[in-house]
Every structure is written in structure tokens, then in C-alpha cells.
Amino acid sequence: MRPVRIDVTDDASVASAAELVGREYGRLDVLVNNAGMLNRKHATEVSADDLRLEFETNVFGLIRVVHAMLPLLRKSPAARIVNVSSDSAMFAKATEEGSMFARSHDSFAYSATKSAVNMLTVKYANAFLDDPELAHVKINAVTPGYVATDLNGFKGERTTDEGARAAVYWATVGDDGETGGFFDDSGRLPW
């Protein structure tokens, strides 16, 4: 096992990665979609072009990678997809009075992209369940919480190890595990 670096905005990079995995391993057991970008800009200043930039990485990149890897995931007896989302995608937190997410106007596009990631997770899960060749694939969205990373200037309260817990759990969940949900390391979250 080894990580493969992919430019999720580049079709050739994604295709090359899929070809490499197929050639070396013949299948893909776990796909963690963790690519993400945040262009800090106040909500009132965000243009359609600004939104396109973040959607290209955070949403279209995810779709591009899942699409390219599906033939390899079909071959795995217990394939798992984990889509890394964000607390900022939760409508419950975005509408909660006094919540940092209700007033985080500079993550306008990012929050929208991560909400899209959550919806895509549900739609993929339902499509997989209806396809006999993909019904074994579990796909879930996770939030790592407020992790200290360069995305937030290392202001987060959680370590990267703490932030990785939910992703690792859902990447290794058993055949009886859920699919199409949104979770942190404490359990299911509201959308």
C-alpha cells in the first residue's frame, strides 16, 4: 500500500493514477477524497469565478476521481470511499445563532462545496445500492473537526491524528456498516 498523489483538477493526472493503481494492484479497496481548497473571501465579494475555482477542486475533483476509480472499486470485495467534508457544511451549525459557522463569511464558497460533497455522498450511496456490481461499496462523508492545518493558519483545536479518526474508521468499516451518512469520530451528524 502506498499513497498516490493526484491533481484532482486534471483529467490526465487522475487517469494516470487510476492506471497505476490498476496495473500495480488490480483493484482499489479504499479511496479517501481529501483534496480541498479554501479561498478566503467575504461572502459579499465572492464572484462566480471564485466559486468555480473552489468547486473545481472540492466537488468536480471528487467526482472526477470517483468516476475514474469505480472500475477498480468494483473489483474489491469490500470497497470503501470516504469523502472528507466539514462542520461548515452543516445547515444546523450554519443557522445556529452565535455559531462560528453562522458568521464565517470568509468561507462562503468552501461551505457550499462541502455541502455539495455531502449531497454527492448520499446520491452515490443510493446509486451504489441499486447497482449489483457496486452494492458492496460503502461511501460516507466525514468531518475531521477543527484541525490545526495550514487551511486555518494552524488555529484548529484538534491534532491531525484526532482529525483522521473518523476517516480511518469509515475507511475500514465492516460489511455491516452504514453507507451514505455524515459522521465525525463521535458518530452520525445532522446534515
CB atoms within 10 A of CB 32: 18
Pairing of strands 30-33, 80-84: parallel
For 101-118, what is each residue's pLDDT tens digit? 655 656 778 889 999 999
Residue 145 pLDDT: 80
Among candidates 49, 68, 94, which has minimal Cα distance to 10? Answer: 68
For 9-49, what is each residue's pLDDT tens digit? 999 999 999 999 999 999 999 999 998 888 887 788 889 99
Of the pLDDT bands very low, low, confident and very high (cuts 50, 70, 90), residue 159 is confident
The pTM assigned to this predicted structure is: 0.91
Residue 125 pLDDT: 98
Spatial separation of the C-alpha atoms in residues 35 and 32, rounded to whole Å: 9
CATH topology classification for 28-188: Rossmann fold (3.40.50)
Residue 41 pLDDT: 78
> Hey, where are the domains in the chain?
28-188
Catalytic annotation, residues: 110, 114
Residue 43 pLDDT: 81
